Amino acid sequence: MSRWLPRIYLMLVYALLYVPILVLIIYSFNDSRTGYRWGGWSLRWYQALFDNHAMVQAMWNSLWLALAAATVSTVIGGLTALALHRYQFRGKQALRGMLFVVMMSPEIVLAISLLAMFLVVGLQLGFVSLLLAHVTFCLPFVVITVMARLSGLDERLLEAARDLGAGEFTTVRTILVPVMMPALLAGWLLAFTLSLDDVVVSTFVSGPSYEILPLRIYSMVRVGLKPEVNALGSLLLVFSLAMLVLSQFILMRNKR
Amino acid sequence: MDERQPFRSAVLLLVWSWLLLLVLLPNLLVIAASFATRDPQDFLSLPVTLESYQRLINPLYLGVFTHSLYMAAMTTLLCLLIGYPFAWALSRVDKRWQTLLMILLIVPFWTNSLVRTYAIKLLLASNGLINNLLQSVGLIDAPITMLYTEGAVIAGLVYLLLPFMILPLYTVFEDLRDDLLQASHDLGAGRMATFVRVVIPLTLPGVIAGVLLVLLPAMGMFYVADVLGGAKNLLVGNVIKNQFLDARDWPFGAAASVLLTVAMAVLILAYGLSRRRIGQETVE
């Protein structure tokens, strides 16, 4: 009895976490227009989604933004992790502190500070402001993913490289980057997903010239229930799940 | 290592300039803006004043803030009540299953929280799934109003934030050694005494970290209140958003944001203290 009680409790909470997601996915195939009564299986809402020109445009915009944000934050995040792991420099603690604050801050605080910055320097709100903002909130997550990998590095490899006369850049390119690669890929996938899903920061720093998917969904779900949102939401959920599975696969396969 | 390595310098320059321009400077700007005078045309204007902070405690907003704080506190409490036993049970599960269960737990972190908020709306709506089920079973005659209530906002926030409470709790329960519980038992403590005097103090850092990760987002996630709460159940995030984007009252929005940051600093400090206390006690 006392062995089963915790297990039943675990299953119950997992069910609570997953039932809404399953309901959404099942309802996305519902043929009924009203959205809540079951009218048989259908793909009509997926069809409606791809027939909607503005929606498809927003999807492309979001994908481009996520690709760019993930790539830039992986490069900068990877280099930051490298610097924190390998170099001694003044203000190292402050740098760690800033990354920690970005990670812990409520998104809305980050969003406001970035908008204030863009207003002061007079940056037009659009793709560039979104990119700068997304890279900034993705950065700490890439850094901790890569740092975790570097902490398991065999230092003798680096000594050997130095003894063989390798310069700093050669050492990084031939030893550190290959070691970091699985974590860089996992970090890239995480950043891509975070960028694709962000609502709070994007609400503040986007402009009318560049409409992205989460904000389009936001304007749709504020009033009532819309069957197209079921389809779009299901697509996004399945896509994110695929990214998560892929990243876990990469990290686990390269564990040792 | 050579101090003047060009590669090393380039890396440090890039990293520092990004963080200074997009983290430190923006935050300083917000602090400055919170002391500025309201001016819908310009972002900042003089003279320096405390007016925005005074308006925060103006009855009009104070009501919204206390209501928001109440909803966030209820969310945090519920997450703690559900998450604490959950994390304990999870840490005692067979190791073979733990990886899978952990992945199932971080799924919410990877998936779109706006879409999941909408999924809750699908369940709670007056023509939604729960009402339909209850009506077809015959438990109720007319749909119960669940959407656009305080309860709906709290339910949505708990649903979104529960994993963020569980993860730090799970970490501390993983470190909780069985021999400490055994020792407490051998020294004559009952179950209750062991729980209060051993388990709670040792898991306190996890509790504080969980509160930090739940309480502040629960005040900021304006879209949850928008989708599930209707016009009456606003969060601090909604006020900040309205002041910044619609009313263009930047000093006021900035002051509210500074307040959230101060709350965060206090919680981080509490977390540090609780960890240090445990560190000392185990060393002695």
- Residue B85 forms contact with A (CB below 8 Å): yes
How confident is residue B283, by pLDDT bands cut at 50, 70 and 90?
very low
Asked whether residue B82 carries a pLDDT value surpassing 90, the answer given is yes
For residues B18-35, give the mean pLDDT.
90
Interface of A with B in 40-69 (CB under 8 A): none
pLDDT of residue B180: 75
How confident is residue B282, by pLDDT bands cut at 50, 70 and 90?
low
Which residues is A30 bridged to in the sheet? A41
Asked whether residue A35 carries a pLDDT value surpassing 70, the answer given is no
pLDDT of residue B284: 41
Q: What is the pLDDT of residues B207-216, one digit of tens each?
A: 988 998 899 8
Q: What is the pLDDT of residues B84-118, one digit of tens each?
A: 999 999 988 888 888 888 888 888 778 888 999 99
Asked whether residue A72 carries a pLDDT value surpassing 90, the answer given is yes
How confident is residue B21, by pLDDT bands cut at 50, 70 and 90?
very high
* Nearest CA distance, A164 vs chain B (angstrom): 15
The contacts found for B152-155 with CB under 8 angstroms, 24 or more apart, are: B152/B120, B152/B124, B152/B228, B152/B229, B152/B233, B153/B71, B153/B224, B153/B225, B153/B228, B153/B229, B153/B233, B153/B235, B154/B71, B154/B74, B154/B75, B154/B78, B155/B120, B155/B124, B155/B228
Candidates B14, B105, B260; nearest CB to A76? B14
Asked whether residue B11 carries a pLDDT value surpassing 80, the answer given is yes
**Reported pTM:** 0.88
Task: Match 């989604």 to its residue by tokens.
Answer: A49
How confident is residue B40, by pLDDT bands cut at 50, 70 and 90?
low
Residues of chain A with Cβ-Cβ distance to B33 below 8 Å are 116
CB–CB of A221 and B118 under 8 A?
A: yes
What is the total residue count of chain B? 284
- Residue A73 forms contact with B (CB below 8 Å): no
CB–CB of A112 and B24 under 8 A?
A: no
Winning range, highest mean pLDDT, from A118-127, B50-59, B197-206:
A118-127
For residues B136-160, give the mean pLDDT.
86
Asked whether residue B2 carries a pLDDT value surpassing 80, the answer given is no
* Nearest CA distance, A192 vs chain B (angstrom): 10
- Residue A106 forms contact with B (CB below 8 Å): yes
Residues of chain A with Cβ-Cβ distance to B85 below 8 Å are 6, 9
Asked whether residue B278 carries a pLDDT value surpassing 80, the answer given is no
Asked whether residue A65 carries a pLDDT value surpassing 90, the answer given is yes
Helix (H, G, I), strand (E, B) or coil at B42: coil
Interface of A with B in 123-152 (CB under 8 A): 132-133, 135-136, 139
- Residue B234 forms contact with A (CB below 8 Å): no
| Among the listed residues A70, A239, A201, A252, the one whose alpha carbon sits nearest the alpha carbon of residue B107 | A239
**In angstroms, rounded to a whole number, what is the distance separating the alpha carbons of residues B235 and B245?**
15
Residue bearing the bigger pLDDT, B253 or B42: B253
pLDDT of residue B3: 47
Q: How far apart are the first and last CA of chain A?
A: 39
Helix (H, G, I), strand (E, B) or coil at A30: strand
Which residues is B209 bridged to in the sheet? none
CB–CB of B223 and A218 under 8 A?
A: yes
Asked whether residue B23 carries a pLDDT value surpassing 80, the answer given is yes
For residues B177-198, give the mean pLDDT.
76
Residues of chain B with Cβ-Cβ distance to A116 below 8 Å are 26, 29-30, 33, 43, 250, 254
Asked whether residue A67 carries a pLDDT value surpassing 90, the answer given is yes
Asked whether residue A169 carries a pLDDT value surpassing 70, the answer given is yes
For residues B36-64, give the mean pLDDT.
76
Residues of chain B with Cβ-Cβ distance to A82 below 8 Å are 11
For residues A17-38, give the mean pLDDT.
82
Taking CA–CA distances from B235, the nearest residue in chain A reads A108
Residues of chain B with Cβ-Cβ distance to A105 below 8 Å are 261, 264
